């Protein structure tokens, strides 16, 4: 079985889903700093859109988080 890097896993996720959030990246791929992976992908020339979403945190307080999507 071929070993996939976190950056490869995140890229593949964005290609096969409608985007990825930090929570999804952490839960599915163990990526603790999604923004860093997105930065590297942008540096490699990928067009990635950032959407700011509203939600609630684990304490029920309102919060904002980013969802990254591939726009190729």
Sorted by where each begins, the domain ranges of the chain are: 6-70
User: 22-26, long-range: CB within 8 Å, 24+ apart, which pairs?
Assistant: 22/65, 22/66, 23/65
Q: What is the pLDDT of residue 1?
A: 46
pLDDT digits (tens, 9 = 90+) for 13-57: 999 999 999 999 999 999 999 999 999 999 999 999 999 999 999
Q: Residue 51: how many CB atoms within 10 A of its CB? A: 12
Write out the two tokens for 60: 């029920």
Measured CA to CA, the distance from residue 3 to residue 60 in angstroms comes to: 38
Output the pTM of the full model: 0.88
């Amino acid at each position: 079985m071929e070993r996939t890097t976190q950056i490869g896993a995140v890229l593949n996720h964005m290609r096969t889903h409608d985007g990825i959030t930090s929570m999804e990246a952490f839960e599915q791929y163990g990526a603790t700093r999604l923004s860093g992976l997105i930065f590297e992908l942008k540096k490699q020339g990928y067009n990635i859109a950032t959407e700011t979403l509203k939600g609630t945190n684990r304490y029920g307080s309102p919060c904002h988080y980013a969802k990254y999507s591939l726009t190729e």
